[in-house]
């Protein structure tokens, strides 16, 4: 024969387990979110370029860093060459 107090204790234990599991799951979710946020900040923004013309008429690129400040001024020829080199896939 089961007493009411035994049933209520079992229910309390089950509820405590459920609450502990929920809080643990919430803590893990929060930690994952924090890590994702950190890695998102570390992701490097692609360098943007602004086109200009030199006095000789050649096309120039003004490279900007992540904050938007000018980092380097390149000729189109040099910038294009480095882009082609970077995007090239080795053939075996």
In the structure, how many helices (H) and strands (E) does the chain have?
Answer: 2, 3
Query: What string of DSSP letters covers 1-31?
Result: ---HHHHHHHHHHHHHHHHHHHHHHHHHHHH
Please compute the mean of the pLDDT values over residues 27-31 and round it to a whole number.
84
pLDDT confidence bin for 44, thresholds 50/70/90: low
Coil, strand, or helix at residue 74?
Answer: strand
The values of phi and psi at residue 81, to 5°, are -60, -40
Q: Is 83's pLDDT higher than 60?
A: yes
Q: How confident is the model at residue 89 (pLDDT cuts 50, 70, 90)?
A: low
pLDDT of residue 7: 75
């Amino acid at each position: 024969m089961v007493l009411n107090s035994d049933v209520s204790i079992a229910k309390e234990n089950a509820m405590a387990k459920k609450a502990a599991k929920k809080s643990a799951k919430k803590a893990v979710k929060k930690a994952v979110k924090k890590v994702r946020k950190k890695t998102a900040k570390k992701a490097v923004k692609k360098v943007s370029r602004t086109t200009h013309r030199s006095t000789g008429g050649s096309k120039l690129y003004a490279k900007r860093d992540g904050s938007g400040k000018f980092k380097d001024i390149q000729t189109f020829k040099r910038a294009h060459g480095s882009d082609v080199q970077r995007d090239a896939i080795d053939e075996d």
